[in-house]
Amino acid sequence: MGIAVLLVAASAVAQDAPQSPGTVKDGYAIHQSFDLGGHIAEYSGSDAMYDTLVNLQSGPRILSQSLEMHSVGKTKFPLFDNLSTSNIGYGGDPINTTFFHMSKGNLYDFQGVFRRDRQYFDYDLLANPLVPPEVTSNGYTFPQVENSPHLFNTVRRMTDADVTLFPISKVSFHAGYSQNIMQGPTFSSIHEGTEALLEQYWRNSTDSWRGGMDWKVFSKTTLSFEEVITHYKGNTYWELTGLNLQLSNGTPATLGFDNVSVPSCGDHASPIVSSTTNPPTANATCNGYLQYYRYQPTRTLFPTEVFRFQSSNIKNIEMNGHISYTGANSNLPSLNEFFNGYNSRGSVREFTVAGNAKAERVNVSADYGIVWQIAPKISLSEQYDFWDFRQPGVSDFTQITYTGTSMLTPPSTTGTTAVTSDAWYLGQKTQTNTLVAIWQAAPRASFSLGYRYRNRDIVDRRPDQDNIPIHQQGGLFGADLRPAHNWKINGNIEIAYADNAYTQISPRQLQHYQVKTTYQPRSWAMIFGVFNDLEDRDNVTYVNHLAHSRAFSTGANLTPNERYGVELSYGYLDVFTQTDECYASTPPPSGAVLTTSPACIANGTPYFTNGYYNAPTQYGSIMFIFAPIKQLRSGLGYRMSAVNGTTTTINPLQVPGSLQSQYQSPYANIAWTVHPGWTFSGNWNYYGYGEGTPIGPTLPRSFRGNVYTIGMHYEF
């Protein structure tokens, strides 16, 4: 969000300045603008975190560009009446966007959007084994993991195009196409006796075609039909990287990156044979990798038919509804996995896995809503929602395993073949009915009272599951008050109870409270406040789940005149959850005890504790706008967020990290119209991220940076 604001800040300030009236040519009123300039970025501290949160670099940019054409009479080009297009961020920014819109009276309306988003993520505590600095063997110190083993660096390109034919006619048609492509390198990991680092090459794409029609049967009744076909193509593959050692015969190898203690090897010798070679020589009887790759192309087709209607032709009655059907198929035609190394568990020297899988998803959903104005001050509404899906699947995999005693010895000539054929089924039918009565008690006060019933029937055909029925009942209350003509208050309460839960974090008891208010003491002053509290509980033995999400925000917009104004906001968010958890840890984490939970014991996780996560967060912003003369506009502001949270410590090397962090960004901008149509703009943003806790055995994550954006706005 901050990056998007920065990309358009200079042009937005410039466009608030006096504008050129444009030109009229060939029957069109034409208005164009360009914002050309660039960034000067300087920062210090963690490059990885700067790129994760900001990722703005120095260089020239097309900050923005726009073109608008509107018909003002007879034109030489009858193809369109209105055309507009705009571009933002081209030239090197992580987010680039192009909008295009064109229409011709009641003949057609076309809209298109293209977005490119560079997604870089390297928060080095994610999936990090936190290797301490003192793990040494034979003079070799096992390297600490400085970047996240699940580092992410991809590009997503998103294209959307939609056209409507005869948009205001009795019968109209629409068609559209969307494409979402994500590709690029990331890191991943796999565990075979030890943890290995993988390079993961993303190339996934989704194509969606849609078409339909709207029929305005009567003046207040519309019927709609739409066909949507979505095709997903997954071509991501994985291969081994991080080969930082060698065997005695020179073969590149790795003992993994999770060596928080000196590895134990089959010959009971040191895991590092020699640290004087380049690279160091590893003990071949340790768990390790020589080769690994996995390729599993996936194809999925989602065809969906949707029928909708809405009507208010019957006096005092409004209705709407929809029904949709999806029959999807997902296919994994060929999985290919190969491991070459040594895993002491089972003396595995090499294995290959080949096979295929396929699954289906049949989904039917429908809803119907009706509002009946029983009397001038009383109305009754009912909303019925239905959802039924079935998801069967089958898979067949063949693994051939070859044994050995070390990475130096060749694998056995005869492998052990294991064939795994699985069939599974997951289904769910959900029916929800909500009945609400609304009473207009006074011109400035209305109240609502409702009842909601939800029935869920989950079928999970696994050895330990079968049919899980869940029934939930709840009450609803709402109020909409206007104590004064310039003061509005509305609130809602929902309290519900369910007799069963599918997962430990699914609530059996739920309370939801919402309050919103706006107050406008003057025409130029607006004050608002919002409170939202969601409480979840599941007080069952060996679950003891308790969670809440409490949010409060308030703010004001004060603009006494066009020369100056101020906007300010403050928010507080408290997210908390605790649930009984099982651990398989030696030594056990602090506070854990031996458990009698049958589920924990069956899974070989004998330790038990009530794990929790608490993340109270404060955030706020303030902005001043100052325009002393017509040709000059400026702004000054500050944005911040701060988290002071805690969580259950499982790993003694774990640090709070982002749970106790601060992120702040003061900024300033100015726009000076030096001549009608020509505006100079400047923008400054400061970005500062810090954690008030120990860094841990990783690279520091704090950074500070300044980004200056300079541009010239030209419109004609």
* pLDDT, tens only, 304-329: 999 999 999 999 999 999 999 999 99
The token pair that represents 412 in the structure block:
């056995």
The token pair that represents 466 in the structure block:
């079968």
Smallest CA-to-CA distance from 59 within 714, 696, 709 is with 709
Burial category of 279 from C-beta neighbours within 10 Å (exposed 0-12, middle 13-18, buried 19 and up): middle
pLDDT per residue as tens digits for the range 596-607: 777 777 777 777
Alpha-carbon radius of gyration of the chain: 31
The token pair that represents 65 in the structure block:
């560009």
DSSP secondary structure code for residue 122 in this structure = -
Is domain 2-715 classified as CATH 2.40.170? yes
- To which H or E segment does residue 577 belong? strand 564-583
CB 639 within 8 A of CB 577: no
DSSP secondary structure code for residue 584 in this structure = -
pLDDT per residue as tens digits for the range 407-460: 999 999 999 999 999 998 999 999 999 999 999 999 999 999 999 999 999 998
Pairing of strands 317-343, 288-295: antiparallel
- To which H or E segment does residue 420 belong? strand 416-442
Confidence (pLDDT) at 483 = 95
pTM (2 d.p.): 0.89
pLDDT per residue as tens digits for the range 227-259: 999 999 999 999 999 999 999 999 999 999 999
The token pair that represents 68 in the structure block:
């608008």
7 band by pLDDT with thresholds 50, 70 and 90: very low
Smallest CA-to-CA distance from 8 within 671, 638, 621 is with 671
Helix (H, G, I), strand (E, B) or coil at 167: coil
689 band by pLDDT with thresholds 50, 70 and 90: very high
Cis peptide before 333 (omega within 30 of 0): no
Domain parsing of the chain, residue ranges: 2-715
Q: What is the mean pLDDT of the chain?
A: 92
pLDDT per residue as tens digits for the range 545-564: 999 999 999 999 999 998 99
CA 564 to chain CA centroid, Å, is 37
Confidence (pLDDT) at 460 = 84
686 band by pLDDT with thresholds 50, 70 and 90: very high
Query: Rounded to whole angstroms, how far apart are CA atoms 505 and 581?
Result: 11
- To which H or E segment does residue 15 belong? helix 2-16
pLDDT per residue as tens digits for the range 267-279: 999 999 999 999 9
Q: What are phi and psi of 367, to 5 degrees?
A: -150, 155
Cβ-based neighbours of 454, under 8 Å, separated by 6 or more: 430, 431, 432, 433, 470, 471, 472, 473, 474, 498
Least confident segment among 59-73, 89-103, 460-474, 611-625? 460-474
Smallest CA-to-CA distance from 547 within 533, 558, 528 is with 533
- Counting DSSP H helices and E strands in the chain, the numbers are 3, 37
462 band by pLDDT with thresholds 50, 70 and 90: low
To 5 degrees, how large is the angle CA 677–CA 88–CA 48? 130
Residue 171 above 50 pLDDT? yes
Residue 6 above 50 pLDDT? no
Cβ atoms < 10 Å from Cβ of 53: 19
pLDDT per residue as tens digits for the range 124-168: 999 999 999 989 999 999 999 999 999 999 999 999 999 999 998
Smallest CA-to-CA distance from 639 within 601, 661, 666 is with 666
Cβ-based neighbours of 103, under 8 Å, separated by 6 or more: 80, 81, 82, 109, 110, 167
Residue 227: HSE in the Cβ half-sphere, 13 Å Cα cutoff: 4
Residue owning tokens 């506009």: 633
Residue 2 above 60 pLDDT? no
pLDDT per residue as tens digits for the range 568-594: 999 999 999 999 887 776 666 666 677
Residue 138 backbone zone (phi > 0: left; psi -120 to 50: alpha; other: beta)? left
- To which H or E segment does residue 90 belong? strand 82-90
For range 70-98, the mean pLDDT: 90
The token pair that represents 205 in the structure block:
């794409």
CB 260 within 8 A of CB 129: yes
Query: Rounded to whole angstroms, how far apart are CA atoms 155 and 121?
Result: 12
Query: Rounded to whole angstroms, how far apart are CA atoms 55 and 115?
Result: 17
Query: Rounded to whole angstroms, how far apart are CA atoms 40 and 55?
Result: 12
Helix (H, G, I), strand (E, B) or coil at 651: coil
For range 276-291, the mean pLDDT: 97
Cβ atoms < 10 Å from Cβ of 629: 9
For range 98-110, the mean pLDDT: 95
